[in-house]
């Protein structure tokens, strides 16, 4: 153990003292938050798309089109379509699109509407224009049939569902959006750290082997001690970097974010989209006076945070925080140790990074498939279903699948069983990797195949 500890110290200090480690550990959270804020500011500053409307149908569709936060409609230049198109191309400021209702357009046959633009129209912009046109045409049809939008809106039910977790004492409110977001974040972190630092283990072993440092080190320590020291040393680097990220993220969420929300509050309360005939501040689909008055305050209280306050704990309320933190650390470390042993075996078997690609594929396939399949099965499906259960039991897929299930609540016996299987899987994989490692680190100048690797596992000595 003394020799393993010395190797752990060497691997840990060598990486932690690098300037790149400090830069990434300290600046990564700031860059992520800064980029998110910048993207949000740019999107809010751009405002809605301005769409010019050329109407030859005689139905006065421009007066029916309603502005919203995505689209703002303005009349096009009077005259023919060619005149409107020429004015659209010269418009200052630049307009997003020119919406043309041809002369033959009718409410019963809504074909022939054109969206003209400079370049290709994005799918999101086309959908926003389509929704506004559909709403305008629907209102004209209802007016022709004698119906009113208020009558139809009163007949439509808008039910608000509140999820309650009965496994908690007294029942706790469970926000599905927060639960799903937490599952995504945890699974991405596990996938990212296992893959990045597992590859670091492989590259470190391969570089030391190619520089012949291994020959000196093997004279003092056993191959298994060297492999375990390298894996555990890099595991310490992972935990240090993750701890720094968590501390910085916590500081940003409790200090920076409330300041930004407070500064943005006046602009949010005063912002209102402009209109030109039918204002967007009073949409036709709003509830009428006959609707229950108590529904609006209850809904707003359920989905909106309290004014002037931001608390990370209030957002995470209802989640099993204890099992999420403990389970994440355990399965994250277990998955890293399991896959790092395989990456170390690959690094010992090859002489350069090019040869490593053929052996990396079968190792990374379970990691990639577990992430892709778990999204469809756990997040978009049943997190407690049979397939989700077996994905969280298999050691090669459980680090991601079980971590993704944690925010939804996992029975204690499943956590214990999955943890025991992961430990057993790590021990078995480490034994196989050590058998390959002890032969591969002293093997030079030979193209290794899968058949050759299988022979190394049964060499004596």
Distance CA(233)–CA(9), nearest Å, equals 6
pLDDT of residue 287: 39
Distance CA(185)–CA(110), nearest Å, equals 44
Distance CA(122)–CA(115), nearest Å, equals 11
413's CB contacts (< 8 A; 6+ apart) are none
What is the DSSP annotation of 182-237?
Answer: HHHHHHHHHHHHHHHHHHHHHHHHHHHHHTTHHHHHHTTS-HHHHHHHHHHHHHHH
Three-state DSSP state, 126: helix
Distance CA(204)–CA(441), nearest Å, equals 12
Three-state DSSP state, 173: strand
Kindly state the tokens that stand for 159.
């039910």
Burial 132-148 (b: 16+ CB within 10 A, else e): bbebbbebeeeeeeeee
Query: Residue 52: in which H helix or E strand, if any?
Result: strand 49-55
Name the DSSP letter for residue 375. I
* Backbone phi, psi, residue 295, to 5°: -70, -40
Please report, for residues 282, 341, 389, 403, 418, the alpha-carbon distance to residue 413 in angstroms, rounded to integers and kept in the order given. 53, 27, 12, 15, 8
188's CB contacts (< 8 A; 6+ apart) are none
Kindly state the tokens that stand for 139.
């209102």
Residue in 35, 33, 66, 41 with CA at minimum distance from that of residue 268: 41
What are the structural domains, with CATH classification, of the chain? 47-155 (3.40.190.10), 177-252+317-456 (no CATH)
pTM for this one? 0.66
Per residue of the chain (461 residues), give pLDDT as tens.
778 888 888 888 888 888 888 888 877 777 777 776 777 666 665 668 888 888 888 888 888 888 888 888 888 888 888 888 888 888 887 888 888 888 878 777 767 788 888 877 778 888 888 888 888 888 888 877 777 777 777 777 776 666 665 655 444 555 667 778 888 888 888 888 888 888 888 888 877 777 777 777 777 788 788 888 888 888 888 888 888 887 887 777 677 656 655 555 444 443 444 445 444 333 444 334 344 333 334 433 444 444 444 455 555 666 777 788 888 889 989 999 999 888 888 888 877 667 777 788 888 888 888 888 888 888 877 888 888 899 999 999 999 999 988 888 888 899 999 999 999 998 888 888 888 888 877 777 677 777 888 888 777 75
pLDDT of residue 424: 93
95's CB contacts (< 8 A; 6+ apart) are 50, 51, 52, 74, 88
The residue whose two tokens read 């039918």 is 278
Distance CA(156)–CA(347), nearest Å, equals 63
Distance CA(32)–CA(38), nearest Å, equals 10
Distance CA(29)–CA(33), nearest Å, equals 6
Please report, for residues 17, 164, 325, the alpha-carbon distance to residue 4 in angstroms, rounded to integers and kept in the order given. 20, 49, 28
What is the DSSP annotation of 401-457?
Answer: HHHHHGGG---HHHHHHHHHHHHHHHHHHHHHHHHHHHHHTT--S----HHHHHHHT
Three-state DSSP state, 55: strand
């Amino acid at each position: 153990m003394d020799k393993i500890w010395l190797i752990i110290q060497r691997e840990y200090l060598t990486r932690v003292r690098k300037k790149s480690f400090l830069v990434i550990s300290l600046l990564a959270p700031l860059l992520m938050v800064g980029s998110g804020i910048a993207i949000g500011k740019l999107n809010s500053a751009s405002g809605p798309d301005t769409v010019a409307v050329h109407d030859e149908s005689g139905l006065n569709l421009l007066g029916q089109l309603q502005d919203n936060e995505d689209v703002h409609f303005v009349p096009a230049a009077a005259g023919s379509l060619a005149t409107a198109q020429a004015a659209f191309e010269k418009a200052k400021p630049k307009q997003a699109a020119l919406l043309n209702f041809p002369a033959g357009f009718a409410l019963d046959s809504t074909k022939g509407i054109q969206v003209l633009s400079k370049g290709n129209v994005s799918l999101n912009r086309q959908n926003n224009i389509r929704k506004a046109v559909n709403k305008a045409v629907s209102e004209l049809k209802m007016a022709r049939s004698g119906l009113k939008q208020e009558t139809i809106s009163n007949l439509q039910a808008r039910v608000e569902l509140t999820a309650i977790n009965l496994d908690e004492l007294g029942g706790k409110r469970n926000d599905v959006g927060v639960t799903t977001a937490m599952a995504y974040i945890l699974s991405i972190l596990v996938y990212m750290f296992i893959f990045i630092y597992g590859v670091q283990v492989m590259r470190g072993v391969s570089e030391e082997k190619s520089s012949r440092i291994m020959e000196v080190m093997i004279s003092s320590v056993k191959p298994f001690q060297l492999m375990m020291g390298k894996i555990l040393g890099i595991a310490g680097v992972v935990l240090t970097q993750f701890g720094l990220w968590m501390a910085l993220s916590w500081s940003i969420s409790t200090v920076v974010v409330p300041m930004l929300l407070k500064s943005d509050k006046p602009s949010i309360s005063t912002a209102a989209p402009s209109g030109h005939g039918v204002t967007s501040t009073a949409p036709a689909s709003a509830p009428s006076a006959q609707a229950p008055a108590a529904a609006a305050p209850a809904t707003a209280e359920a989905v909106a945070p309290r004014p002037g306050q931001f608390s990370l704990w209030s957002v995470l309320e209802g989640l099993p925080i204890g099992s999420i933190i403990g389970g994440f650390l355990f399965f994250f470390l277990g998955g890293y140790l399991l896959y790092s042993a395989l990456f170390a075996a690959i690094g010992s078997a090859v002489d350069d990074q090019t040869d490593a690609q053929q052996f990396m594929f079968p190792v990374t396939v379970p990691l990639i498939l577990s992430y892709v399949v778990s999204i469809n099965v756990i997040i978009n499906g049943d997190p407690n279903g049979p397939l989700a259960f077996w994905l969280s039991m298999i050691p090669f897929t459980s680090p991601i699948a079980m971590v993704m299930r944690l925010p939804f609540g996992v029975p204690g016996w499943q956590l214990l069983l999955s943890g025991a299987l992961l430990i057993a899987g790590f021990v078995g994989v480490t034994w196989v990797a050590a058998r390959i490692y002890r032969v591969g680190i002293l093997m030079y100048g030979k193209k290794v195949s899968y058949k050759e690797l299988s022979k190394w596992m049964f060499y004596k000595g």
